[in-house]
Structure 1
Amino acid sequence: MSKKTKLRARAASAEPSNTAAEGVDNPRRPCPCGSGRRFKSCHGAADAAEMIVARPFAGMAAETELIALREFVPSATAQLTLKTPSPDVPSITLATVLPAAAAALTRSDRSILLGMQVQTHSGDLSRDLASALEWALAAEPSSVLSVVGRASIGPSLADLIVDEPFDVTVHDSFGWWLEEEPEAGSEVALSLERANTAIMPTVRVAGLPGAYWVDAGEKAHLRWVRPEEEQPLMAALARLAVDEELDLGEGSRYVGSFRAHGRLVPVWDLDRDAHASEWDEPVKEFAVRLDKALAVDEPLTSAQRRARDGILGRQFTLR
């Protein structure tokens, strides 16, 4: 027997039996994060804090909104509800970004703000948010968590909050950062003004989850985080492309898509002279066409496969 074989046999004999596989101390048990891997090879590994969780918000009702708030919405908030209420915390607000890109802060009344767009993070955004929320629940009033810790274990966001769709409020400034109006000419007022100038005008389109119009200066865009798996979504977009139904009407053009946190985000260029609200109906009509295309359960034609390959060629992945 070789040396490596002996070592493997010795390690196997030292591991708990399969009857104990569900024990919380058993490294062979399935990882509670739901990855399908063993705990010792997932969040129980030495480098677990560096692991990339490709779809951190999987299964959550607000998954598409969480991705939008994390990746491209400049100033927006949504209220969260704890599964286990904390009587001395008046409110918990999820925010796109906080001052200095902080992970969390508490106000003087102990209300909590959680930041999505932070300075640094581990590979599991959901666990980062949960860690920041746990810190805030125990923190003193008027405290700031600049950077979240890189813990490899602990609850995810879905473990702590009620799983429900978000009612997102998009803001045209960062005035909601402050508890009171800053004194004119003060450093706080100047900092707020500088932050406000960086905001690109953004509007949620037709009240649809994950769909946002943004004025990027020379062009306007629609970015729409989709909930479907990539393969059927690509097939549906290919069918629409062949039928010349992939755009949103006059003044629009499908330009590609990007992947973010396990979901696909199609992007359209839009006529910048049209008001954001003018795209509500075209987007709703496109949603109907897309649903019909998604419902088709037939192999793609050769033309549709070529269209799909062309669409795939205009994709990239955000990390």
Structure 2
Amino acid sequence: MAAKKNREKPAGENPRRPCPCGSGKRYKACHGAGDDVIVTRPFAGLAAEPDLVAMREFLPSALAPLPLAAPLEVPVTVATVLPGASAAMVRQDGSILLGMQVQTRSGDLSADLAKALRWAQTAEPGSALPVVGPGLAGEVTRLQDVLDAAAPLDLTLHQDFGWWIPEDAEDSAEVTATLERANSVIMPTEAVDGVRAAYWVDTGSKAHLRWVRPESEDALMAALARLHAAGELELGEGTRYAGAFRAHGLLVPVWDLDREMHAKEWAAPAQAFATRLDQALARTGDLSTAERSARDALAGKQVTLR
């Protein structure tokens, strides 16, 4: 219970800040007033943005300490998914877990996570928040209000969900069955060494590289078009640029890979591509005719996730 008493309210609430939906209104008078406005880029302005998008959309089992601007006296960890797809959990030791992949959400994932954190700060140890709903009253905050904006996430990927169960928890047939069901659907996933927010994923029939990029879509598409026109878009022999999906305001390019190669073998090709991409992003001026054609072709390989 001591941990509960020592928890503090996050700092940084600013009801006069502009709404991230782009309406031009103050957040409190727009989305903060309860309107279900869709914030297309909920984690904008955070160095952790690519990490949060990856955790939300395709990483199966991962944890990261949440870099709060004003750290609490209990650890706060963000997780890909919690038991029951809960929004938050408070363990018996007072530590807090926030879930990225939840059952329901509002139009602003950033506000949902901040809401779940606020709930956890006053919740009893051993409790869980199934969903973030309108019952959580009070001034609306967002992750941008409570995080160190310059800090990326220090992600740890796991090959199963064993971390769901605290070490001192008692075994039971129900817990064992739940873990077995969750572990059976995990797709093997590994971070690509030396490349930020790039992940090797084995879907069972194919292997992919999925890479969350922080640039604006226009800038990234222009750079990819330049590389495509120059024949430099692939990662090497046996690879194919499959397309890209939009997720929470960012573009995630995807490559098909040779499934027979180990995940670590893609580090050097990905790092070499990263160098080429940085050079293409630094180029200015209009696209050539061939590059415009390449951009149009790449645009046909994009989908948007919600």
TM-score under structure 2 normalisation?
Answer: 0.89
* Residue segments in structure 1 that go unaligned for 5+ positions in a row: 1-23
CA distance in 1, matches of 2:224, 2:70: 42
Q: Deviations over 1:20-56 (max 9, x none)?
A: xxxx99xxx76354735213862255x51x2100100
Work out the CA distance in 1 between the residues paired with 2:122 and 2:44.
27
Q: Evaluate the alpha carbon distance shift between residue 81 and residue 235 of structure 1 in structure 2; reply closer, same or farther with a 3 A threshold.
A: closer
2:78 is paired with a residue of what secondary structure? strand
**What is the distance in 2 between the residues matched to 1:104 and 1:175?**
17
Shift of 1:181: 6.9
Which fold has the larger relative contact order, with Cα–Cα distance below 8 Å and residues 6 or more apart in sequence? 2
- Structure 1 residues 161 and 44: alpha-carbon distance in aligned structure 2, compared to 1, 3 A threshold: closer
Give the percent of matched residue pairs that are identical in Structure 1 and Structure 2. Answer: 58
- Conservation of the 8 A alpha-carbon contact between 1:211 and 1:224: yes
Match status 1:95 vs 2:83: no
Contact 2:195 2:270 survives alignment (8 Å): no
Name the CA shift for 1:105/1:235 in 2 (closer, same or farther; >3 Å). same
Deviations 1:40-80 (A, max 9, x none): 862255x51x2100100001011001000000000001001
Whether 1:126 aligns to 2:110 is yes
Question: Is 1:162 paired with 2:148?
Answer: yes
Counterpart for residue 205 of structure 1: 192
Q: Distance in 1 between matches of 2:140 and 2:195?
A: 32
Q: 1:275 to 1:249 in 2, by over 3 A?
A: same
Change in 2 beyond 3 A, CA 1:299/1:81: closer
Asked if 1 retains the 8 angstrom alpha-carbon contact of 2:195 and 2:267, the reply is no
Q: Is the 8 A contact 1:183 1:189 kept in 2?
A: no
Aligned to 2:5: none
For 2:237, give the aligned amino acid: E
Q: Which region of structure 1 is more displaced relative to structure 2, 183-192 or 160-169?
A: 183-192
The corresponding residue for 1:58 is 44
Counterpart mapping for 1:105-124 below 5 A: 105-124=89-108
Q: What amino acid sits opposite 1:263 in the alignment?
A: L
- Equivalent positions of 1:1-319 (< 5 A) are 31-33=18-20, 35-39=22-26, 42-43=30-31, 48=35, 50-87=36-73, 89=74, 91-150=75-134, 154-163=140-149, 164-180=151-167, 186-319=173-306
TM-score by length of 1: 0.86
Q: Secondary structure at the match of 1:250?
A: coil
Q: AA paired with 1:275? A: H
Count of residue pairs the alignment pairs up:
289
Given that 1:182 and 1:188 are in contact with CA atoms closer than 8 Å, whether structure 2 keeps it comes out as: no
Displacement after TM superposition at 1:85 (Å): 3.1
